[in-house]
Amino acid sequence: GGGMTVEDVEIAACCKACKTRVPTTATEYYYDINSKDYYFDSYAHFGIHEDMIKDEVRTNTYRQAIQDNPHLFKGKTVLDVGSGLGILSLFAAKAGAARVIGIEGSTIAELGKQIIKDNNMTEVVTIIKGQVEEIELPDGIEKVDIIISEWMGYCLLFESMLS
């Protein structure tokens, strides 16, 4: 289909406020949705991830939620959907996860891999570039115990929604 819903308009307005290029008309939206990579490309810029990490309320809330519940993570296999730079993956590993698989659709996955390496967590954390519905889990893993995801994107940062 090519229709634009109310939700699409709200998302476009939010992202416009975030100064991210988004479709501004129904026609432009129609053409953009034919580009499967558009959404993921919008997250390929380091500055977006830097803004999210520098939001101390946001980052510390995620860290606290994961690290204050080690009983949920200890010895488990965790899937981090939309892992970005791998911050939540690192938190899960530090909380005791046996294995963490981060899936990231944008090219920022390469930087995420380097961050995991720099933190000496490659034995536990694997970052895969791809879309969750298209990738195959590594090392014969068929199921995961926990799915984590930073699902809010970065638009709330610019409105101080998490303060």
Question: How would you write the pLDDT of the chain (163 residues) with one tens digit per residue?
Answer: 454 444 444 444 444 444 434 444 444 434 444 455 544 454 544 455 455 555 667 778 889 999 999 999 999 999 999 998 899 999 999 999 999 999 998 888 998 999 899 999 999 999 999 999 999 999 999 999 999 998 765 555 544 445 5
- State the catalytic residue, choosing from 28, 50, 110, 159: 159
For residue 40, what are the contacts with CB-CB under 8 A and spacing of at least 6? 105, 106, 131
Whether this model's pTM surpasses 0.75: no
Does residue 150 carry a catalytic annotation?
yes
The torsion defined by the Cα of 84, 6, 22 and 56, in degrees rounded to 10, comes to -40
Task: Indicate the DSSP class of residue 15.
Answer: H
For residue 102, what are the contacts with CB-CB under 8 A and spacing of at least 6? 80, 83, 86, 88, 89, 109, 112, 116, 125, 126, 127, 128
For residue 123, what are the contacts with CB-CB under 8 A and spacing of at least 6? none
Domains plus CATH for the chain?
1-35 (no CATH), 48-159 (3.40.50.150)
Does residue 110 carry a catalytic annotation?
no
